[in-house]
Amino acid sequence: MSKYFLKRIFTMIPVFIGLSIIIFTLINIAPGDPYTNIVEGEISISASDKEDALKSIGYYDSMHVKYGKWIGKVIKGDLGTSIRYNEPVSDIIQRRIKNTFLLSMITLILTTIIAIPLGIISAVKPYSKTDKILTILAFIGISIPGFFVALLVVKIFAVNLKWFPISGMSSLGKNLTGFSKFCDVGKHMILPILSMTIIEIASLMRYTRSAMMDVFSENYIKTARAKGLGEKLVVYKHAFRNALIPIITLLSMSLGYIFTGTILIETIFVWPGMGTLFYQSIANRDYPVVMGCALIFSASILIANLLSDFIYSIVDPRIRFK
């Protein structure tokens, strides 16, 4: 089993290097330079100072030289220095990533708790009224764009009902501590998490139903029912366990998508996480931060895939001995 995971980790290394090359190339071939917004914005510098600044960061070096310098620093744990904030990118990301991780994990847990049971119910009673209602709701959820879901949630629960705050992570002008701060942050989290959960539930529910329906058609399920086993035992011990592999695959993909998909939700709700930082850095042409964020997003997807492989080996013992 340990050899299996070592092999998977070593496989990830060239993939990560390839992703870093793609990220670096795409960002560096973008039009403009990191100081365009400074020159054209409220803060201005002279043309000569701008040229000196660009030379100091190696802007005019050839692409392979710039990549070599950048990846060399990344290997040492140095993601560079932010042009806008003038501080290490790793420090900025460290402050923001915990907020994004909090949203992502709570969303994933809620999605799993809600979507999988609904998918099982839909599969156990195919083409019933319950299944048809859940199917319609799932198709509506899949069809509606994520940003529209977020705006609709804001309109209903923040604007009309005024139950929750629209944006931010804490109330402005209040210096809360302890349990009061915990409750305030929790109140601000509800709408972003609700929006992300609604977006994710539909696809996982439909996928769970499809996986369970495929397993129900197998001969060993028919044999288990013919032997007189209880329906709950057939569904949860025999069918669900064998349907877990494709479900785990989608969950691992969802984990990576939720983490990177926070760019949209965090921007709408002004949540101080990686998504907002990434969006603002693109707008400000803060290339070191953009590359750092993109690298973290890519690493999160690779880690999610590695985690799914680990869960595979627990669910299906055959994988441990391959």
Domain range 96-283, CATH architecture: Orthogonal Bundle (1.10)
Phi-psi region of 168 (alpha: psi -120 to 50; beta: other; left: phi over 0): left
Instruction: State the pTM of this model.
Output: 0.79
In sequence order, the 6+-apart residues with CB closer than 8 A to the CB of 19 are 295, 298
3-state helix, strand, coil in the chain (%, to 5): 80, 0, 20
Rounded Cα gap, residues 132 and 117, in angstroms: 16
Asked whether the beta carbons of 285 and 84 are under 8 A apart, the reply is no
Residue 321 DSSP symbol: G
- Give pLDDT tens digits along the chain (322 positions): 567 667 777 778 888 888 888 888 888 887 777 776 654 444 556 667 777 777 777 777 788 888 888 888 888 888 888 888 888 888 899 888 888 888 888 888 898 899 989 988 888 888 888 888 988 888 888 888 878 888 889 889 988 888 888 888 777 767 777 788 888 888 888 999 998 888 888 888 888 888 888 888 888 888 888 887 777 888 887 788 778 877 887 777 777 777 776 788 888 888 888 888 888 888 888 888 888 888 888 888 888 877 777 777 776 666 554 5
Hey, what are 64's tokens?
């392979």
Hey, what are 79's tokens?
């993601």
Hey, what are 96's tokens?
């923001």
Rg of the chain taking only CA atoms, in angstroms: 24
Dihedral sign (CA 110, 116, 117, 122): positive
Rounded to 10 degrees, what is the CA torsion of 61, 62, 64, 68?
-10
Hey, what are 247's tokens?
């479900």
Dihedral sign (CA 232, 234, 239, 240): positive
CA-to-CA dists, residue 281 to 27, 54, 286, angstroms: 12, 18, 5
Q: Identify the residue whose tokens are 């909090």.
A: 102
Map residue 165 onto helix, strand or coil. Answer: coil
Rounded Cα gap, residues 130 and 249, in angstroms: 26
* Amino acid at position 207, single letter: Y
Residue 177 DSSP symbol: -
Asked whether the beta carbons of 303 and 28 are under 8 A apart, the reply is no
Phi-psi region of 32 (alpha: psi -120 to 50; beta: other; left: phi over 0): left
